[in-house]
């Protein structure tokens, strides 16, 4: 039997891939970080294991080293096929890390060709003529061009990947995909026959993904967003084992500045008690700001124990394309508009780091106050939060939206949590209010 191993460059991406494998009937667990020995027996019983890393914006050598360590662990677990999961909006910089990590995995697995498939039509990501669309906009003209860590200003996947890799990058147009699995298999074989190559494959609907999945059935490595996993044939079994629900207070921690998160914040306004992080206060006295937020959360929970509290880091009311929402390229500054009341002093720490640390500290303090159910928005944010809580494995539960699921995870200190790690641009508008119903 094929056992899949996934290497994901952020934590929301890992649960995104896991949710899609579960939807295809594969029993899937997520290891938060490279699994340690005590986790191996449980993971070895799964049809698929995703190792969640926090390598999207890490230094290139770290990202490569961690990804290879993840690959070794997955091979040790008996995985025979591998999925290099990156963002469906190809979040990266001209240096990486999509290219360098893919290069290292291809070399380690001796793969001649690896497909590049960011498409995830259920979430509006499609690739046509190698251009990546987010809904009806080109990636480079979408709100992703304002991303604080990886602003995406180009849409051509071949052009985005080429400067990041030592391998050739070719594109496979939609008519070849529509020609069926045999035609596509032939095109991929030809691409790999001339030296190691990536093949950026057009895909605009789920049938295209199913064709790519069939044409790559003998590929040891595939790369992409999670959409390609939905192209796999559906197994018979029900892979979503009943997830334990952990009673406790509820919190939303939103460190995502993405357009969908902003819409979700706007939708929660008025019905969920919310506080925005005060960046100036955080810079002056981070522990004091977290203590203030924790006092506030305790007060809210004592008044309404079942109601969630929400801590967020950007203003929800502004439109996604409002330049005031640009929180600072590479998180290095935040001097723009209302979101960035925080001018970074010389030698000061990037606002993005302060935000991640503050939300992680809130998670720990809220957990100490009795919170057990968290919706976390943003991949980097989720990585910080889950690491701070000390959770090392997630078992998937009910789905909330394409690529977003509840999960259950136990921490080393004996506490257990229900966590929904939401990619910045995923999820229904009312997820912060209605997302709890699935675990009520
Ligand atoms: N007001 C702010 N000023 C500066 N940086 C911020 C601010 N708010 C959030 N950030 C930072 O922006 C980054 C957002 O990345 P994150 O991955 O959490 O969200 P996302 O990109 O929307 O989600 P995903 O990666 O799942 O698409 C984090 O590093 C966060 O700390
Ligand atoms: O693929 C996606 O868009 C998401 O899983 C993600 O990686 C966002 O961080």
**Least confident interval from 139-153, 194-208, 351-365:** 139-153
Tell me which residue has its CA closest to atom 18 in ligand 1. 378
Q: Which ligand is nearest to the CA of 376?
A: 1
> What are 342's strand-pairing partners?
334
**Average of pLDDT values for 359-372?**
98
Domain 4-231 fold is Rossmann fold (3.40.50)
**Average of pLDDT values for 29-50?**
93
Q: Is the pLDDT of residue 283 over 90?
A: yes
Mutate to test the pocket of ligand 1, among 342, 380, 423, 425 (most ligand atoms within 8 A of CB): 380
Rounded to whole angstroms, the Cα distance separating 34 from 380 reads: 17
Domain 249-439 fold is Molybdenum Cofactor Biosythetic Enzyme; Chain A (3.40.980)
Which is more confidently placed, 422 or 328? 422
Q: How far is the CA of 43 from the centre of ligand 1 (A)?
A: 30
Q: Answer whether 4-231 and 249-439 agree in fold.
A: no
Model confidence pLDDT, tens digit, residues 387-427:
999 999 999 998 999 999 999 999 989 999 999 999 999 99
Q: Is the pLDDT of residue 338 over 70?
A: no
Mutate to test the pocket of ligand 1, among 254, 338, 339, 351 (most ligand atoms within 8 A of CB): 351
Q: What's the CA angle centered on 15, arms 155 and 129, to 5 degrees? A: 20
- Domain spans, the chain: 4-231, 249-439
Rounded to whole angstroms, the Cα distance separating 126 from 128 reads: 7
Give the number of other CB atoms < 10 A from CB of residue 181.
16
pTM: 0.91
Rounded to whole angstroms, the Cα distance separating 340 from 355 reads: 12
**Average of pLDDT values for 105-128?**
97
Model confidence pLDDT, tens digit, residues 130-150:
999 999 999 999 989 988 789
Mutate to test the pocket of ligand 1, among 12, 381, 404 (most ligand atoms within 8 A of CB): 381
Q: How far is the CA of 262 from the centre of ligand 2 (A)?
A: 16
């Amino acid at each position: 039997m094929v056992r899949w191993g996934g290497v994901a460059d952020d934590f929301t991406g890992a649960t995104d891939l896991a949710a899609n494998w579960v939807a295809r009937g594969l029993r899937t667990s997520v290891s938060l970080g490279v699994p340690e020995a005590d986790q191996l027996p449980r993971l070895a019983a799964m049809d698929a294991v995703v190792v969640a890393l926090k390598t999207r914006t890490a230094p290139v050598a770290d990202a490569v080293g961690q990804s290879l360590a993840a690959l070794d662990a997955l091979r040790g677990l008996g995985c025979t096929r591998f999925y290099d999961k990156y963002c469906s909006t190809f979040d990266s910089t001209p240096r990486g890390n999509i290219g360098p990590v893919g290069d290292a995995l291809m070399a380690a697995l001796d793969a001649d060709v690896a497909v590049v498939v960011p498409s995830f039509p259920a979430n509006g990501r499609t690739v046509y003529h190698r251009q990546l669309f987010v809904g009806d906009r080109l990636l480079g003209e979408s709100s992703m061009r304002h991303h604080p860590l990886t602003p995406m200003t180009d849409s051509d996947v071949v052009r985005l990947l080429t400067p990041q890799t030592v391998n050739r990058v070719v594109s496979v147009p939609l008519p070849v995909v529509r020609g069926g699995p045999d035609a596509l298999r032939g095109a991929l074989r030809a691409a790999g026959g001339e030296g190691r190559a990536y093949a950026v494959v057009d895909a605009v609907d789920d049938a295209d993904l199913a064709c790519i999945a069939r044409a790559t059935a003998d590929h040891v490595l595939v790369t992409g967003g999670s959409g390609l996993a939905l192209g796999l044939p559906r197994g018979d079994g029900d892979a979503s084992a009943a997830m334990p629900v952990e009673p406790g207070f509820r919190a939303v921690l939103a460190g995502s500045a993405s357009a969908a998160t902003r819409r979700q914040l706007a939708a929660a306004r008025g019905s969920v008690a919310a506080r925005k992080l005060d960046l100036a206060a955080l810079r002056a006295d981070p522990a004091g700001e977290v203590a203030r937020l924790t006092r506030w959360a305790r007060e809210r929970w004592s008044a309404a124990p079942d109601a969630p509290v929400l801590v967020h880091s950007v203003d929800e009311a502004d439109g996604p394309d409002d330049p005031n929402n640009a929180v600072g390229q590479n998180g290095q500054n935040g001097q723009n508009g209302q979101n960035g009341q925080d001018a970074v002093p010389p030698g000061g720490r990037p606002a993005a780091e302060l935000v991640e640390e503050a939300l992680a500290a809130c998670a720990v303090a809220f957990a100490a106050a009795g919170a057990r159910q968290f919706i976390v928005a943003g991949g980097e944010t989720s990585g910080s939060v889950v690491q701070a809580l000390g959770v090392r494995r997630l078992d998937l539960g009910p789905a909330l939206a394409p690529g977003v699921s509840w999960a259950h995870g136990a921490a080393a200190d004996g506490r257990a949590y229900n966590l929904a790690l939401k990619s910045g641009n995923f999820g229904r508008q009312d997820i912060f209010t209605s997302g709890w119903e699935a675990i009520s």
